[in-house]
Amino acid sequence: MIKSETASIMKYRALLADDEASAHITERALNSIQGIHYELVKLKSFEELVAFASGDGLPRDILLLSTSWLNRSCIDILKDLRARSSSLPVIVIAEEENLSLDCLVMECGASDYLVKDNHYPQVLERSIRYSVECSRKMLFASRKLRQEVATSRLAALNYATNKLIQEIDDPLSSIQGYAIAVQTAAQAKIVNRDKVTSGADGILQMTSRIESAGARARERHAFSSRRPLHNTSLSELVARAVEQCRDSISENNIEIYHEIDRDIFVECEAVEISQAIVNLLLKSCHALERHEERWIKISAKEINDECLNLIISYSSKSNLYLEKTNREEIFADSNEKSNEAGVGVEVSKEILQLNGGDLLLDSDTPNMQYIVRLPLKRSKAKTHFDIFVIDDEMSIGELFQEEIARRGHVAKTETNPEVALAHLQHFDYDAVICDIHMDHLSGIELAEKVRLASKASPRFVFISGFVDSGIKIEIAKLGKPLVFEKPFSIREVVDQTLHLLETTEQLT
């Protein structure tokens, strides 16, 4: 969003993803809005949308996405944009009202869902203005939070370092004083044995304090080394780091390429590794500041069954070749010239080593390459379960949600079974706790539709006020799921559901 030279007119750079036959409706609506000028780009392909969403070219304020564009599901497009960590606000526009789709697009990150009716121009103007402003505030808040987190980490690191230095410096100063006293006493014509002994004792005490400080530092390091590591998607780590560096990448007009296999998982502390990658990316941006046609490429290469290399290479048209000796000097403190590079390359190396990895420099290629070595995991361990609770009584769903969240798992609730069915067609859950008797669509009918529509349907757990013989026969056709009749204990239902999922997870 920009202001024109005539301060009363606002300008928005908008992307329109709509079929040629109906795009004119939105164009006409935008042109009819007074006091605002829209610079509109009509997208012709999904690749073009991805390029804009990734930050190529001039930044855009809003995406107007039609539900009929390219005959592709707008849900899939929204998910794809979210997977690419795009911060571009999206307004979904449709030909007719659809409550289920409205709910789904909002869950997928859309800012609004609009219908092309008689009020379309007025509603569209307000929606664009509101979406852009909200996005701007959220982006600002996100940047501020990242800065505060980075600052707090550095502050904590500085505090710990300064405290350790103080613990060592204080006794060192005392040792120096005792040493001078001993030297003076020893050089006297008449040696005072008590003074020499006192000075020697003082030196021993101070060296003992230094030794204790070193022992405490080693204990802290050993404790942090023993902390449990987590199974994390490498592509998510890289995407998170790139998003954190988006400002520096855009400001320096650097092209960045990264495409990591989503099936690659590494065993590490995700926040720490992400921060280490951020440090290296910022370091790369700093090195490219004075060069033209610059780029950064991130790729992964498996070394063996236990580890892989994440390669961060950067170069430019003017070639950044460095001799091996110069490359090794990058790890030296004297070369930490960029304050923006966070805690620096040396600390990034220590973070990686703490996570069972390492940081190397490739001296055999003309482009600068950081090689981040990480321990490899072949499969993703299930750390939590996603459970969908469907009950036409909102209070019941909320009780389940609270109990499931208390156990460290994720729960979503829905009171409308038709909306729930539409949701289950687009999102995966490990289990569905579902009431049997609901208006418009029973729990059994819902389960049958989900099973027919999906190859890997979730485990269903039914709850009901009464279950007669006919219902039991219908339920048996679904593979004998768990059934609980009222009155039941919320805790018991959750216990049995989690036990079922954990048992299934162990078998697989």
User: Looking at residue 425, which CATH number applies to its domain?
Assistant: 3.40.50.2300
Q: Spell out a b/e string for 468-485, using b for 16 or more CB atoms within 10 Å of the CB, else e.
A: eeebeeebeebeebbbbe
pLDDT band for position 216 (cuts 50, 70, 90): low
In this structure, of 50-64, 90-104, 142-156, 273-287, the range with the lowest mean pLDDT score is 142-156
Alpha carbon distance 367, 498 (integer Å): 51
Task: Identify whether residues 331 and 302 lie together within a single domain.
Answer: yes
Q: What is the residue range of 36's domain?
A: 2-117
DSSP 229: P
Query: Which of 225, 248, 282 marks a domain boundary?
Result: 225
Are 262 and 329 in the same domain? yes
**Within 13 Å and on the Cβ side, how many CA atoms surround 52?**
24
Domain boundary among 377, 395, 416: 377
Shared-domain flag, residues 250 and 161: no
pLDDT at residue 89, as a whole number: 92
In this structure, is residue 486 part of a structural domain? yes
Highest mean pLDDT out of 5-14, 129-138, 332-341, 435-444: 435-444
Residue 298, domain member (yes or no): yes
What's phi and psi for 387, nearest 5 deg? -125, 135
User: Which tops the pLDDT comparison, 226 or 74?
Assistant: 74
State how far the Cα of 95 lies from the Cα of 397, in Å rounded to an integer: 33
Our CA dihedral for 506, 356, 229, 235, rounded to 10 degrees, sits at -80
Q: Answer yes or no: are the C-beta atoms of 434 and 446 closer than 8 Å.
A: yes
Tell me the whole-structure pTM to 2 decimals: 0.44
User: Which tokens in the block code for residue 333?
Assistant: 């403190």
Burial of 439 (0-12, 13-18, 19+ CB in 10 A): exposed
208 and 267 together in one domain: no
Distance CA 214, CA 399 (A): 51
d(CA 494, CA 31): 54
Residues 27 and 44 in one domain: yes
Q: How many residues make up the chain in this entry?
A: 508
Q: For residue 321, is pLDDT > 80?
A: no
Residues 305, 212, single domain; the answer is no
Give the mean pLDDT of 438-457.
86
Regarding whether 484 and 462 lie in a shared domain, the answer is yes
- Note the pLDDT of residue 414: 93
In a domain, 305, yes or no: yes
Backbone angles phi, psi at 404, to 5 degrees: -65, -40
The 10s digit of each residue's pLDDT in 82-125 is 877 788 899 999 999 998 899 889 888 899 999 998 888 889 99
Domain membership flag for residue 139:
no
Residue 253 resides in a domain:
yes
Q: Of 377, 401, 426, which residue constitutes the final position of a domain?
A: 377
pLDDT of 211 higher than 90: no
**What is the three-state SS of 357-376?**
CEEEECCCCCCEEEEEEEEE
Same domain (yes/no): 279, 366: yes
Q: Does the residue 497 lie in any domain?
A: yes
CB under 8 Å to 381, separation ≥6 — which residues?
A: 231
| Inside any domain, residue 131 | no
Q: Which residue has the tokens 């038709």?
A: 418
The three-state DSSP-derived secondary structure of 112-125 is EEEECCCCHHHHHH
Q: Tell me, yes or no, whether 401 and 468 share the same domain.
A: yes
Which of 9-13, 113-117, 460-464 is predicted with the least confidence, judged by mean pLDDT? Answer: 9-13
Encode pLDDT of 369-391 as tens digits: 888 988 876 444 456 788 999 99
Please give the backbone phi and psi of residue 409, each rounded to the nearest 5 degrees, phi first.
Answer: -115, 175
Residues 361 and 469 in one domain: no
pLDDT, greater one: 33 or 9: 33
- Of residues 232 and 55, the one with the higher pLDDT is 232
pLDDT above 90: percentage of residues in the chain: 19
Question: Which amino acid appears at position 153 of this protein?
Answer: R
Other Cβ atoms within 10 Å of 188 Cβ, number: 10
- Among 212-221, 266-275, 440-449, whose mean pLDDT is lowest? 212-221
pLDDT at 219: 55
Whether residues 391 and 441 fall in one domain? yes
The pLDDT of residue 416: 92
| Local confidence band at 249 (pLDDT 50, 70, 90 cut-offs) | confident
Residues 103 and 164 in one domain: no
Mean pLDDT is highest, among 6-20, 224-238, 424-438, for 424-438
Closest listed residue to residue 13, CA positions, set 62, 81, 64, 86: 62
Q: Give the 3-state secondary structure of residue 272.
A: helix
Percent of the chain's residues with pLDDT above 70: 78
Considering 249-258, 329-338, 406-415, the range whose residues carry the highest mean pLDDT is: 406-415
Distance CA 311, CA 230 (A): 21
Q: Pick the residue with more confidence: 153 or 471?
A: 471
Question: Is 134 inside any structural domain?
Answer: no
How many domains is the chain partitioned into structurally?
Answer: 4
